[in-house]
Amino acid sequence: MTDNANSMWGGRFAAGPDAIMEAINASIGFDRRLAGQDIEGSRAHAAMLAATGIIKPSDAETIREGLLTVLSEIETGTFQFSTALEDIHMNVEARLKDLIGEPAGRLHTGRSRNDQVALDFRMWVRDQCDGAIMGIEALQKALLSQAEAGADWVMPGFTHLQTAQPVTWGHHMMAYVEMLGRDASRFSDARARMNESPLGAAALAGTSFPIDREMTAKALGFDRPAANSLDAVADRDFALEYLSASTICAMHLSRFAEELVIWSSAQFSFVVMSDRFSTGSSIMPQKKNPDAAELVRAKIGRILGATVGLFTVMKGLPLTYSKDMQEDKEQVFDAADSLMLALAAMEGMVRDMRANEGPLRIAAASGFSTATDLADWLVREAGLPFRDAHHVTGRLVAMAEKQGCDLPDLTLDQMKSAHDAITEGVFDVLGVDNSVRSRTSYGGTAPDQVRAQIKRWKERLV
């Protein structure tokens, strides 16, 4: 029965249970991405061991030089990774022993693979927070350029994807600048919380060696060492926070990507997407497909999936370390790659796209988009309660709809038939330009307000 069971696995696991165990246990296939952080952490640890007298300075120097050689081999692609050695930590240590001999065995004094992997992964995720913030700010700058170019271009604002009120192109672009600003702040907040060093927690209880955890924390750019050794090795909150922030950011990118897909269609023609971020059809020569936007729209699925996956891995684990936690990295790596690619693609699309002022203006005036301006005028100038003004405006919309025209096309007499307090002055608020110029409340769509927000963000993003 055992032979038959093993035969299910085919040639890959022909060697039997030992090969299966090696395959499920090894992580070097993906955690090799932590090589730079692993070697940086080991160099800091070796320097600390020498400074505290735990190892000889000469051994520390030999270890430092050996680690630099290992790093060079990895960066140049000459390093031979071994699945039998399980992970990046053992691969580096084994190669270090080949290079420098007996001193390599002293490097692991006062630490464990548990705090080592917690350190490496935390440093890697910290770097990803920095990268995400840079990517977000690049996209924000591209949006600012679009907003500045069209600060007073009118377009329809939508609710329920139905024309609601006129807004400006610049105002719409600035909405995404604000969203992305919150995304950047989430990555910044997460980075600040994760900036505690687990190195020196050892397996779970700390160590009896007189290590200096403040020294290694400072050398590696942390604010402080983690205060509880159990929590230090068991914690993956930093990865969960990073994934949560990534999911929200990807959701924002997906919403914008959906708008670009809609706006670039022939039915809307609000924007023209660059050929660099579009593809043609294999059968329909007239087609120009917004494939980059569609793929950005889809990235939320992978990133959200990674977030749910890691929460599921962590939810039932007792303190401290369990091998389940080896499943923390691949999904974070994939989510980070997906987010950075989505940010870069969106930044390129925004920089290259061209907004069509004409179709935007035509659409802004459609669908009785200035009806609210008419109601507001009735409140402000004729003294009607808003609910009454809303009713009068509804009657005028119905009248215009029946005649196949827009509100500004009705005559004054027709207007007065709905309410005799209406005067010629009502026509001053019915044009789309008048409408957007009137929205001067803080954060409103008036071009002066939009330019003020552009100025604020340009100063912030210098």
Active site residues: 160, 281
Greatest C-alpha distance within the chain: 100
In degrees, rounded to 5, the angle at the alpha carbon of residue 435 between the alpha carbons of residues 431 and 437 is 120
Measured distance CA(135)–CA(246) in Å, rounded: 12
Measured distance CA(28)–CA(113) in Å, rounded: 14
Measured distance CA(71)–CA(22) in Å, rounded: 25
In degrees, rounded to 5, the angle at the alpha carbon of residue 209 between the alpha carbons of residues 204 and 210 is 115
Q: Which residues contact 332 (CB under 8 A, 6 or more apart)?
A: 121, 125, 239, 242, 243, 306, 310
SS (H, E, C) 258-298: HHHHHHCCCCCCCEECCHHHCECCCCCCCCCECHHHHHHHH
CB-neighbour burial class of residue 315 (10 A; exposed 0-12, middle 13-18, buried 19+): exposed
Residue 267: CB atoms within 10 Å: 7
Q: ω before 320 within 30° of 0 (cis)?
A: yes
Measured distance CA(115)–CA(207) in Å, rounded: 11
Judge contact between 109 and 209, C-beta under 8 A.
Answer: yes
What DSSP element (H or E) covers 355?
A: strand 354-355
How far, in Å, are 66, 97, 224, 355 from residue 448 at the CA level? Answer: 61, 67, 46, 20
Q: List the beta bridge partners of residue 225.
A: 197
Rounded CA Rg of the chain:
31
